[in-house]
Amino acid sequence: MAIRDYDRLFIGGDWIAPEGTETIGVISPTTEEVIARVPEGTEADIDKAVAAARTAFDRGPWPRMSPAERGAILTAVGAQIAAEMGDLAEVITSEMGSPITFSNLGQVLAPSMIFGYYGDLAGTFAFDEVRAGMLNPAVLVTKEPVGVVGAIAPWNVPLFIAAAKLAPSLAAGCSVVYKPAPETPFDAFRLAEIFAENGLPKGVLSVVPAGREVSEHLVKHPGVDKISFTGSGVGGKRIGGLCGERLKRCTLELGGKSAAIILDDADLATAIPTLLPNSIMNNGQACIAQTRILAPRARYDEVVDAVVSGVAAMVVGDPHDPATEVGPVVAERQRARIEGYMDSGREEGATVALGGGRPSGSAFDKGWFVEPTVFTNVDNKMKIAQEEIFGPVLVVIPYDGDEQAVEIANDSNYGLCGSVWTGDNDRGLGIARQVRTGTYMLNAPVPIDFTTPFGGFKESGVGREFGPEGLESFLEKKSIALPAGYTPGE
């Protein structure tokens, strides 16, 4: 699949001319060159998309189809994504610099699995339940689609986020206006084509790439019943506030500053190689990244040596090369932001044990590369330990005893993910239960399982994605009192 210019937007199931004349030039983070252009959506385009979604929901077939029929389309979409994995992975790597191996697995295979999961769940989920009443003979508790959804996604895992929002909302029977990030529109446009090719009724899905002002228009639009947003804490607070003013439903999946606790009985030869891919995944641009590594003081130097050795061995380079483990960050502004955090770490007294700048050599004359970096002698109060850097920067923090490890892990505004590494699973589970995060790993390599809820405590968000809980977040519950002797469907 070659990246090409688009001159139209996918609105209401058709490719139509945009209302505005501005375009978005998508810049390769590897070459710093514009690779293609797409229209920049306007508020008028959002109005058209919402109108189409409203009509599709209020009068169209989609919410009136059986859940199994909707699920069959999701399953077909997932299968086609898997069949196009190589092409889609190349597109995402070109858009935002994810290493191609991660693009294949995390950026494309995982989304195909999400669509498949919700395709299956749609046919088995209990949308209706008859309960014995206290004041009525029986009550039907039914779960109905929330309505028109505005879905707003970031650039770091674009197809993954699209799947996390579209699969459950469409399984529920909602219609969706999807706003991808300006940096990553091409996979979203191909996804729209895949849905159309697999029989999604017109009007159910629109794709409008645009900037923040247009996103805000989508959030405030009176024709939108729910907003599903993934992104920064600043953006989440703004969107949450706008939704609160309007009593509009919202799900917010925001940032993280996850702590990986290495207990004093951990086997570092096993723990560190399993941990580090979750620390610097996607060039460090992942909300679940395990970027705070907590080490027992008695083994601090040993942990530092293992972390530094592991990170130093990571191959930095062209993200299209399968050997590359760390590619460029998404944009020049992102690199500047990361470098600002590294300067702050030095100023606050942390030690750069590895990296701390830009990689050298002619291969890095172009591209927004940052050296994988490890800071030691870090106090948890430092800015680099408290704020989400969103780059390949790790901090190693000493602690004394399990109680202090938990205290440090919880000393954060975030609560999205985390992990504990130990030779005693019961001890590790005790730690896991005390750390206030929505997702946790106990000696485990994969932080997210699509059959279970994912989301955060504190400033890491509101609501949950994935699992049946992710589907329920796009459903409204209704109670219908029934007369004696009547059972629906009999």
Compute, in degrees rounded to 10, the torsion defined by CA atoms 347, 352, 356, 359: 160
Q: What one-character DSSP code corresponds to residue 153?
A: -
Flag whether 372 is in a domain: yes
Asked if residue 136 and residue 207 are part of one domain, the reply reads yes
Asked if residue 281 and residue 234 are part of one domain, the reply reads no
pLDDT tens-place string over residues 373-398: 999 999 999 999 999 999 999 999 99
pLDDT tens-place string over residues 204-220: 999 999 999 999 999 99
Q: Which of 174, 250, 287, 417 is catalytic?
A: 287
Query: Hey, what are 34's tokens?
Result: 């514009």
Residue 417 is a catalytic residue: no
User: By the 8 A CB rule, do 274 and 265 touch?
Assistant: no
Asked if residue 192 and residue 317 are part of one domain, the reply reads no
Flag whether 419 is in a domain: yes
For the sheet with 475-482, list strands across it.
128-132, 138-145, 475-482
Asked if residue 178 and residue 196 are part of one domain, the reply reads yes
Asked if residue 223 and residue 360 are part of one domain, the reply reads no
Flag whether 285 is in a domain: yes
User: By the 8 A CB rule, do 287 and 256 touch?
Assistant: yes
User: Measured over all CA atoms, what is the biggest interatomic distance in the chain, rounded to whole angstroms?
Assistant: 80
Flag whether 134 is in a domain: yes
pLDDT tens-place string over residues 229-266: 999 999 999 999 999 999 999 999 999 999 999 999 99
Supply the DSSP string of 219-245, one letter for each residue: HH-TT--EEEEES-HHHHHHHHHHHHH
Distance (Å, rounded) from C-alpha 413 to C-alpha 55? 41
Asked if residue 31 and residue 134 are part of one domain, the reply reads yes
What is the reported pLDDT for 489? 80
Distance (Å, rounded) from C-alpha 283 to C-alpha 462? 26
pLDDT tens-place string over residues 384-441: 999 999 999 999 999 999 999 999 999 999 999 999 999 999 999 999 999 999 999 9
Residue 253 is a catalytic residue: yes
pTM equals: 0.96
Asked if residue 272 and residue 245 are part of one domain, the reply reads no
Distance (Å, rounded) from C-alpha 28 to C-alpha 34? 6
The mean predicted confidence, pLDDT, of the chain is 97
Start-end of H helices in 158-232: 158-172, 186-197, 212-220
Taking each helix axis as running N to C, give the angle between helix 186-197 and helix 158-172, from 0 to 180 degrees, rounded to the nearest 10: 30
pLDDT band at 481; cut points 50, 70, 90: very high
Arithmetic mean of pLDDT, 47-63: 98
The parent domain of residue 411 ranges over 259-442
Asked if residue 317 and residue 361 are part of one domain, the reply reads yes
What is the reported pLDDT for 163? 98
Flag whether 452 is in a domain: no
pLDDT band at 1; cut points 50, 70, 90: low
Flag whether 20 is in a domain: yes
The count of structural domains within the chain is 2
Asked if residue 264 and residue 159 are part of one domain, the reply reads no
Would you say residue 2 has pLDDT above 80? no
What is the reported pLDDT for 338? 98
* Side-chain half-sphere CA neighbours of 152 within 13 A: 30
Task: Enumerate residues 6+ apart whose C-beta is below 8 A from 247.
Answer: none
Flag whether 454 is in a domain: no
Q: How far apart are the first and last CA of the chain?
A: 51
Flag whether 485 is in a domain: no
Asked if residue 368 and residue 330 are part of one domain, the reply reads yes
Percent of the residues in the chain that have a pLDDT greater than 90, as a whole number: 98
Asked if residue 240 and residue 344 are part of one domain, the reply reads no
Q: Which of 90, 95, 253, 371 is catalytic?
A: 253
| Residue 49: φ, ψ to 5° | -65, -40
Asked if residue 249 and residue 271 are part of one domain, the reply reads no
State the CATH number of the domain containing residue 98: 3.40.605.10
State the CATH number of the domain containing residue 345: 3.40.309.10
Would you say residue 490 has pLDDT above 90? no
